[in-house]
Amino acid sequence: MSEVQNIQWFPGHMAKTRRLISQSLKLVDAVAEIIDARIPVSSRNPELAGIIANKPLIVILNKSDLADPDGNAAWVQYFKSRGNSAITVDCKTGKGLNAFKPAVMELLKDKLERYKSKGMVGKPLRLMVVGIPNVGKSSFINRMARNAKAKVEDRPGVTRGNQWYSIDRQLELLDTPGILWPKFEDPLVGERLAFTGAVKDDVVDIETLAVRLISCLKPDYANLLESWYKVTLRDLSDYEILCEIARRRGMLSRGGEADTERAAAILLDEFRSGKLGRITLELPEMYTEEENA
């Protein structure tokens, strides 16, 4: 299809990560998976579900401040309907993080009951925090660990170098051992990661990317484009819309032509920072059951 879709993504070294995560899973009670609420499918690694198998999962929809509130609600409902726990958070401000611990306690309530009946009160719950790069995993851990004591020493265990964080007496977090890569082989995934800035701009042609973003925004968010850039989409092509944005912003080259490269950079920046509005590019209803499995 477009040029954007022909990008050679760097290869995912998933084999090592798969091994590291599998080894360390034995050390935890549950997994907390951080995803980007604007692209909840593209910001997940589809292999993860198989790796974590039956471990309880809490899905943390981060960057929910940038995502459509209706989309956030739909995704929480979706994950819950599949037996997972799910919360929406904004790790930039900390909004929603108060719900994390209660959600973990609820997810693991049977285990807590068992501990209690065996007199093992005070045994902390341990969670592995996973997420592809740029979803906000460091921001999440930093916020959660902010008031906690220094990082816990490496535990004697299967994997050396595992980084543990003690949140309080009841909760400990383990940072992902290894790097969890997204599913780069899928061109649409690569494109959406590029929209959000998770893939660096220097590997993509930003004009092509901006035109593709316009195409993705048109069905549900035409009103946001129209009101923010004061353009009327009418029956303009995606490229013509980019030209209109350039003209509206006075971005003209010396010959008076629309400077679409500058307009593309502005559009991408304003989408990423949420200035354009709160936008979700992937909704549960867009995926069939097999794709989601």
- Is residue 170 within 8 A of residue 124, CB to CB? The reply is yes
Which x/- pattern, by CB under 6 A, does the window 139-158 give for ligand G4P?
x-------------------
Which of 65, 68, 207, 259 is the binder for ligand G4P (CB under 6 A)?
A: 65
Residue 70: CB minimum distance to ligand G4P, A: 18
Q: Does 114 bind ligand G4P (CB under 6 A)?
A: no
Contact window for ligand G4P (CB under 6 A) among 19-27, 62-70, 115-123, 168-176: 62-70
DSSP string, 99-140: GHHHHHHHHTHHHHHHHHHTT-TTPPEEEEEE--TTSSHHHH
Q: Terminus-to-terminus CA distance in the chain, angstroms? A: 26
> Hey, what are 268's tokens?
């991408």
Residue 81 phi/psi, 5° resolution? Answer: -65, -20
3-state secondary structure of 166: strand
- Nearest distance, CB of residue 37 and ligand G4P, angstroms: 8
- Residue 131 engages ligand G4P in binding (rule: CB under 6 A): yes
Number of residues that bind ligand G4P (CB under 6 A): 15
| Short-list 215, 206, 227, CA closest to 275 | 227
Q: Does 22 bind ligand G4P (CB under 6 A)?
A: no
Could you say whether residue 40 binds ligand G4P (CB under 6 A)? Answer: no
Q: Is 136 an interacting residue with respect to ligand G4P (CB under 6 A)?
A: yes
Which backbone phi and psi does 42 adopt, to 5 degrees? -70, -25
Any idea what the Cα angle at residue 146 is, between residues 140 and 151, rounded to 5°? Answer: 95
Quote the least distance from Cβ 22 to ligand G4P, whole Å.
Answer: 21
Complex with ligand G4P: residue 130 or 242, whichever CB lies closer: 130
- Among 38, 137, 183, 278, the residue binding ligand G4P under the rule CB under 6 A is 137
CA distance 269 to 263: 10
State which residue, 106 or 269, has the beta carbon closest to ligand G4P. Answer: 269
H/E element holding 87?
strand 85-88
Is 133 among the residues that bind ligand G4P (CB under 6 A)? yes
**Interface ranges with ligand G4P (CB under 6 A):** 62-63, 65-66, 90-92, 131, 133-139
